[in-house]
A and B are shown apart, each in its own frame.
Chain A
């Protein structure tokens, strides 16, 4: 492997990796939002979140298989398939996340913090094992139905799928932003995150608000699951474990509990991972190690994350 010299630096390759990183980062960001929102509202790292994401990938795979989708689609067939898969993925992960909260976390809300964390790990194993029973431990090919065309700018290639993923992710993030800042339920969510008791005394139904947070976090992971399967062209029962950890790193990097932070962290981790693949010797093998090295460094030097603030004492 060549050591980089200024003269041999390939700017085209560099920007191509940035582009790859942005696409990957958009997916990480969607999953990271679920970690950060749940942490923001009940101070729980939902370790099952990655598997909630994975369940969207396996359920939508089954739908695609049932519909015998095995070739590239266009026009209404494409739009209809995308909509159907997104709806199924969103409902699967959103519903699953709400169910998990109801069954595994709510009864433990007043327990010491470590207890629901262990419960979350348990739920994670259950989701993985059931998925394995259903879909086997093999990596399953995901049908390629999205047009594989790309636009090229100089040496930079941007596939239609990359554009779709980016636009979808940004649209969902904008929607989330409007929801949290402009609507009554969004205000209730922020109020509950800051002081659940005071929020309850202002008429906010805390259980309902927490369920809604899990629903939205799960829904975003569900949408991410749909596009991730298309991006990776494969589905695997442990995909949520690894992607979940990276997305969690992204949430911590941005400042856990901070919604903008999760988006920033997601894109940053995606870009760093893509660049590491290119520029670290034997990079592909190291790319995820790099993500976790970052996690360790943040936890040591800036535990509140890039956009995180000093957590005020809850009185």
Chain B
């Protein structure tokens, strides 16, 4: 499908926890091929939006449409099968599994799992397994030869920046149309951050994936995003291209101003 069409439409999305609206009437329109960022101060509801899109929470109100079809309230595995994969703010790899196994779990939805196939290993099953392995290796290679060399290492033994990459590779393994990255550069130094920005761009170029990003570092979002939405107290207070966001008074006050004041 051509770039520029709406891939994910979030309409009047609301999530209440008790009396508190963590997400309050948020509307987003993410176009195919975009890198779309959601920014906002801590507690603004950014991760809650991710949890709503991926089916961890059910929305209190509102719609979530992927290619025009509702995915609101579907379970996380069904959402993944529909083409949305994600990473986590606080890396959640399967630490007792190797790097390669982690990436293979990412392809779970694409493999045959019935008992007959598992026991008798017919050709279609072996071919699917082979393709899964090839794809996993290709994704590791995407992150460079060092990553490939680490394939049999337990995920828990990797450095922080590498674990972030494995998480992205695992998410990409399902072949998503939309990749949700929750603070992919959190805790990284400048050069690691620059590398992360580089591979996010390359992911879009090479795999045509649309990226929805939560990011705290403004130099990252301003540099990488096609479109930015700003959340504050669960509400969307602004949306636009980076230059517009940088000029927006409300954003400067609510987000940059407050951040500057507390820094």
**A→B interface (CB under 8 Å):** 179, 183-185, 187-188, 190-191, 194-195, 197-206, 312, 315
**B→A interface (CB under 8 Å):** 54-56, 75-77, 79-81, 85-86, 88, 90, 92-97, 101, 104-106, 108-109, 111-113, 118, 170-171, 174
Known contacts A187-B97, A194-B94; is A202 also within 8 Å of B80 by CB? yes
Known contacts A184-B111, A184-B113; is A201 also within 8 Å of B94 by CB? no
- For B92, the closest partner residue in chain A by CB is A198
Contact A200 B75 (CB under 8 A): yes
Q: Which residues of B contact A195 (CB under 8 A)?
A: 92, 94
Q: Which residues of A contact B85 (CB under 8 A)?
A: 201-202
Contact B118 A183 (CB under 8 A): yes
A166 and B118 CA atoms in complex are apart in Å by: 25
Contact B95 A203 (CB under 8 A): no
A187 and B107 CA atoms in complex are apart in Å by: 11
Main secondary structure of the interface of A (DSSP, over half): helix
Q: Which residues of B contact A187 (CB under 8 A)?
A: 97, 101, 104-105, 108
- For A179, the closest partner residue in chain B by CB is B118
A312 and B96 CA atoms in complex are apart in Å by: 10
Q: Which residues of A contact B76 (CB under 8 A)?
A: 197, 200-201
Q: Which residues of A contact B93 (CB under 8 A)?
A: 198
A312 and B105 CA atoms in complex are apart in Å by: 20
- For A194, the closest partner residue in chain B by CB is B94
Contact A201 B118 (CB under 8 A): no
- Pull 23 A–B residue pairs with CB atoms less than 8 Å apart, ordered by A: A183-B118, A187-B104, A187-B105, A187-B108, A188-B113, A191-B108, A194-B94, A197-B76, A199-B94, A199-B105, A200-B55, A200-B76, A200-B77, A201-B56, A201-B76, A202-B77, A202-B85, A202-B108, A202-B170, A203-B77, A203-B109, A203-B174, A206-B77
Contact B75 A190 (CB under 8 A): no
Q: Which residues of B contact A315 (CB under 8 A)?
A: 90, 92
A195 and B97 CA atoms in complex are apart in Å by: 12
A198 and B80 CA atoms in complex are apart in Å by: 11
Given contacts A184-B108, A315-B90, 8 further A-B contacts (CB under 8 A): A184-B112, A187-B105, A194-B95, A197-B76, A198-B94, A204-B77, A205-B75, A206-B77
- For B88, the closest partner residue in chain A by CB is A198
